[in-house]
Amino acid sequence: MTHILVTGAAGMIGRKLTERLAKDGTLNGRKIERLTLTDVVKPPKLSGFSGAVEAWVSDLTAPREAERAVAARPDVIFHLAGVVSGEAELDLEKGYRVNLDGTRALLDAVRKTGRGYCPKLIFTSSIAVFGAPFPDMIRDEFHLTPLTSYGTQKAMSELLLSDYSRRGFVEGVGIRLPTICVRPGKPNKAASGFFSGIIREPLAGETAVLPVSESVQHTHASPRAAIGFLIHAAGLAREQLGTRINLNMPGVSCTVGEQLAALKRVAGEKVAARIRRETDPLVEKIVGGWPEIFDAQRAIKLGFRAEDTFDEIIHIHIEDELGGKFAA
């Protein structure tokens, strides 16, 4: 039997992960007996899950909240709670409090539980831990020189995860997510949000704003792939990872222009015409400091999988979020 804790369970990735776990009913071949879901807003109710579910509003940085989250000693922790890139850059104090202090509070709560407790802990990091100047290909061991506060907070959390894993408090895996695209729902404050917006809004019959040049290149994976990364990471043995527990995830590297070309192929010229160019210097600056192409061979050898083309990413969004139809 397995007890799973998901922090940030009300977010897009958190909701999709908990729905997948509830649907599967198992993780690593073991029945999921209990799900504990926390976030700063109430996580949505789950349907079709036969095990026990506890869901509550929680800020991990508040007194005793992290201890409350791990009091029942969950076997697997998916730590997804965090402030997105644009918000972390605009609100320095909030970014460090949520992204760094919240992670340390969770790790310390696990450590203080003691009595041989050592859960598997999957942490969602980011490609923003890397900063320019870049080589042609970014490998796992490329030095961490983030150029944003968000990237700095994620890099510091990666180091914490590595140290707490080395000391035997957790069995950690850090997955450096590419930009998740196409994100469903309303736009958030992530600097990368336009990558989804220029696909999501036109497919919904709405106008989208493109704040950067079409020459901007980036790496993407679908929400479906991201959930696959998380679940696969939970099944990796410590021996498979060794001491380098933070991994670049695979994805589709393409320019914004190539994204738009894929949109035309999938949905037609009329849909692709629903994009307005409007430069945003802050977004350009943030995105310009992110890496473009990754060597994810280590992750691939460990069994992680993403899409092969951006066309496939668009088709997945239409299938998973639009019921197979879009506004032509």
Provide the pLDDT for residue 141.
Answer: 87
Q: Does residue 143 register a pLDDT over 80?
A: yes
Q: Does residue 315 register a pLDDT over 90?
A: yes
Q: Does residue 188 register a pLDDT over 80?
A: no
Q: Average pLDDT for residues 166-170, to the nearest whole number? A: 97
Specify the long-range contacts of residues 42-51, CB closer than 8 Å, at least 24 apart: 42/10, 43/6, 43/9, 43/10, 43/14, 43/15, 43/18, 44/10, 44/15, 46/18, 46/19, 46/22, 47/22, 48/22, 48/23, 49/22, 49/25, 50/25, 51/25
Q: Rounded to an integer, what distance in angstroms lies between the CA atom of residue 5 and that of residue 9?
A: 9
Q: Are residues 102 and 170 in the same domain?
A: yes
Provide the pLDDT for residue 38.
Answer: 98
Domain count, the chain: 2
* In-domain check, residue 326: no
Q: Are residues 154 and 270 in the same domain?
A: no
Q: Are residues 212 and 230 in the same domain?
A: no
> Can you give the residue range of the structural domain that contains 278?
193-219+252-293+307-321
Interval 296-309: pLDDT, tens:
999 999 999 999 99
Average pLDDT, the chain: 95
Q: Average pLDDT for residues 96-120, to the nearest whole number? A: 97
Provide the pLDDT for residue 1.
Answer: 83
Q: Does residue 134 register a pLDDT over 90?
A: no
User: Is 150 a residue of the active site?
Assistant: yes
Provide the pLDDT for residue 185.
Answer: 87
Q: Are residues 132 and 198 in the same domain?
A: no
Q: Does residue 253 register a pLDDT over 90?
A: yes
Q: Are residues 170 and 260 in the same domain?
A: no
Q: Are residues 149 and 164 in the same domain?
A: yes
Provide the pLDDT for residue 287.
Answer: 82
Q: Average pLDDT for residues 121-128, to the nearest whole number? A: 95
Provide the pLDDT for residue 290.
Answer: 77
* In-domain check, residue 170: yes
The model carries a pTM of: 0.94
